[in-house]
Amino acid sequence: MLTRQFTLSLRRINRIELKPYANLFASVKPCSCRSEGSMTSVEESDVGILCYISHLPGFRGILKQRYSDFIVNEVDLDGNVVHLTSLEAPSEIAEEKKEKLVDLLDKDYSPTIESFRALAGESDAEKLKDFINQIASGVNKHDEFILLSPCSDKSHRAVVHNFFKESLKLFVTDTIDGPDSVSKSVRVRLNSGSHSGSRRNSKKRKERGDKPYDSRGSDNWPENIGKFLRFHLYKENKDTQEALGLLGKMLGVQPRSFGFAGTKDKRSVSTQRVTVFKQRASRLAALNEKLIGIKVGNFCHVNDGLVLGQLQGNRFTITLRSVSAETEDIVKASATALGENGFINYFGLQRFGSSSIPTHLIGAALLRGEWKAAVSLILDPREGDILFHFCSHV
């Protein structure tokens, strides 16, 4: 008897096409469930799992005795295996130098105001002209914004917003409700990114007595840098959502700000790509000193975030412990067959649920169009339920 441990490396490609077993669906019948108290058990033969695909005698071993025995590396769409190779944040890409407020106010806005007059009308043009003059004079203005005339035409409001983005970067705009249910007004305020830290005109929201500003209007993200930061996430014994939840909490962002191509096993050491919206690499790199069992690195900015399915597969490096086989040749033959022929993703009893009614019976009823039977399997009282005991005594 041979007892030892060994490590093998596997690569799983997501796009695997298999021919189904003939008449397998026809063989799915109500199982001979064996009751154990309020629970029932299902055996592999009940769900059509009848044999091994390999004719080799096989051997025994312990999988995932330690989480470090299961190493997962994502494979991107170009076939590159993802590894964490650097924790350093790259030098920030040179940003376009922001103009200070004093420089912006030195400009002659007369031609711009005339263009705005043709777009928005006399009243709004004069309102904007007065607003610019009051800011330029240094007078502590009571109102920190102006409201343009109400407008129910969404496309026209969009043109106004774009006009300010392209021609009047001194200001930012957002939209608020107008005096009636169908109209809205464009609100114009000084661009906070041009204040150079000054907040002399700011007021607390309670003092303003109005709605908070829509931050989408004050987008100061550099145009020459992709809005998504992509990085490699290395984690130990944590699932993907848990790790991203922790990063989001430390960064002060919502979990939906992150994108990833697929979740990885919790009981493993895994490395995968992640994107996050509008974050600096230096902020994430600084978290490495505080994180336990998680590291981030290999930073770069990209234009698009990751979504589920944007990967070729995963590469697994698996250590089996307490391997027991009749001879070493059996282990070698099994490893060789695995390397040459690959493997079919394991499909075991964990796919059929753990309730008293196996989920494959419900699925079979749905596929046969037996809707009433499927609903009954889902909703009828089951042995062990309080409602079951109540109904049985009625």
pLDDT on residue 24: 41
pLDDT on residue 66: 94
In this model, does residue 196 exceed pLDDT 90? no
pLDDT on residue 52: 74
Confidence of residue 197 (pLDDT cuts 50, 70, 90): very low
pLDDT on residue 122: 93
Model pTM? 0.57
pLDDT on residue 225: 86
- pLDDT tens track for 147-177: 999 999 999 999 999 998 888 877 888 888 8
- pLDDT tens track for 219-259: 567 777 899 999 999 999 999 999 999 999 999 888 889 99
Question: DSSP labels for 283-342?
Answer: HHHHGGGT-SSEEEEEEEEESS---TT-SSEEEEEEEEEEEEES-HHHHHHHHHHHHHH-
**Which sequence spans correspond to the domains of the chain?**
2-59+326-392, 74-94+226-313, 101-199
For the residues 261-270, what does the mean pLDDT come to?
94
Better-predicted residue by pLDDT, 68 or 9:
68
> Secondary structure of 125-189 in the HEC alphabet?
HHHHHHHHHHHHCCCCCCCCEEECCCECCHHHHHHHHHHHHHHCCCEEEEEEECCCCCCEEEEEE
Kindly report the number of other CB atoms within 10 A of residue 133's CB atom: 12
Better-predicted residue by pLDDT, 358 or 333:
333
Q: Which residue among the candidates 46, 219, 239, 265 is catalytic per the annotation?
A: 265
In this model, does residue 271 exceed pLDDT 70? yes
Task: Decide: 196 and 214 in contact? Cβ < 8 Å.
Answer: no
Active site (annotated) includes residue 214: no
Confidence of residue 10 (pLDDT cuts 50, 70, 90): low
Q: Residue 80 and residue 132: Cα distance in Å, rounded?
A: 54
Q: Residue 341 and residue 336: Cα distance in Å, rounded?
A: 8
Task: Tell me the CATH class for 74-94+226-313.
Answer: alpha beta
Task: Decide: 291 and 238 in contact? Cβ < 8 Å.
Answer: no
Q: Residue 295 and residue 285: Cα distance in Å, rounded?
A: 9
